[in-house]
């Protein structure tokens, strides 16, 4: 049985069909969601795949420890590089909360270990080529759900959900 890691969380924004990205970028721009991401992750360890690292316009993200899973050297400063899942799990021992921040390959590998999910549910079906895994209600319970909000620039609607692992 997979070991659940109490201080490993996932943070993700996904549309109604679990789409998360397109051509190595985000399908939407939600200013409040980016602020929320910063507020939740600041001071902690953020763990991402190679593609997500290179998708960041300014990297590393300030005031956070970046860990990148990559088969090849990044050739850039600012991140702890690793090529094994077990090393990532070892690194998690050093922080009170660690966040898997994407992308698809990372969510699919680490969902089984995570204890908490900060999910921004973006209303609608966007053009996407990467996806978040389906969540089973056998495994996850809903702790909090915000009202639906509307981004003032794009009109895109979204809400914040917090889920925790059952049992």
**Cα within 13 Å of Cα(89), Cβ side:** 14
18 binds ligand NAP (CB under 6 A): no
Options 49-57, 136-144, 146-154, 156-164: segment touching ligand NAP (CB under 6 A): 49-57
With CB under 6 A as the contact rule, the residue among 51, 80, 115, 162 that binds ligand NAP is 51
Q: How far is the CB of 14 from ligand NAP (least distance, A)?
A: 6
Binding to ligand NAP, residues 64-103 (CB under 6 A): 69-71, 83, 85, 101-103
* DSSP conformational letter for 75: -
Start-to-end CA span in the chain (Å): 14
Window 126-145: residues binding ligand NAP (CB under 6 A)? 130
Residue-wise DSSP of 95-131:
SS-EEEEE-HHHHHHHGGG-SEEEEEEESS----SEE
| Burial bucket for residue 73 (CB in 10 Å: 0-12, 13-18, 19+) | exposed
For ligand NAP, the binding residue among 6, 16, 25, 31 (CB under 6 A) is: 25
> Which residue among 24, 42, 141, 154 contacts ligand NAP (CB under 6 A)?
24
CA distances from 126 to 101, 104, 151 (A): 20, 16, 15
* Residue (of 10, 7, 1) closest to 91 by Cα position: 7
Q: Which of 41, 50, 65, 163 binds ligand NAP (CB under 6 A)?
A: 50
Binding residue (CB under 6 A) for ligand NAP from 20, 47, 61, 67: 20
| Minimal distance, residue 133 CB to ligand NAP, in Å | 11
Classified as helix, coil or strand, 31 is: helix
**What's the distance, CA 55 to chain centroid?**
13
Number of residues that bind ligand NAP (CB under 6 A): 27
Q: Which residues bind ligand NAP (CB under 6 A)?
A: 12-13, 20-22, 24-26, 48-52, 55, 69-71, 83, 85, 101-106, 109, 130
């Amino acid at each position: 049985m997979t070991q659940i890691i109490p201080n490993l969380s996932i943070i993700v924004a996904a549309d109604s069909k679990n789409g998360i990205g397109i051509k190595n970028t985000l399908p939407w721009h939600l200013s409040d969601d980016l602020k929320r991401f910063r507020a939740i992750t600041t001071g902690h360890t953020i763990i991402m795949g190679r593609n997500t690292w290179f998708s960041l316009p300014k990297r590393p993200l300030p005031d956070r420890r970046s860990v990148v899973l990559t088969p090849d050297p990044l050739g850039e400063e600012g991140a702890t590089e690793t090529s094994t899942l077990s090393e990532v799990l070892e690194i998690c021992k050093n922080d009170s909360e660690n966040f898997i921040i994407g992308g698809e390959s990372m969510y699919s590998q680490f969902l089984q270990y995570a204890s908490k999910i900060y999910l921004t549910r973006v209303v609608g079906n966007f053009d996407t080529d990467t996806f978040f895994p389906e969540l089973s209600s056998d495994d996850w319970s809903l702790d909090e759900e915000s009202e639906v909000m509307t981004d003032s620039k794009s009109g895109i609607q979204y809400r914040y959900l917090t889920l925790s692992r059952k049992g």
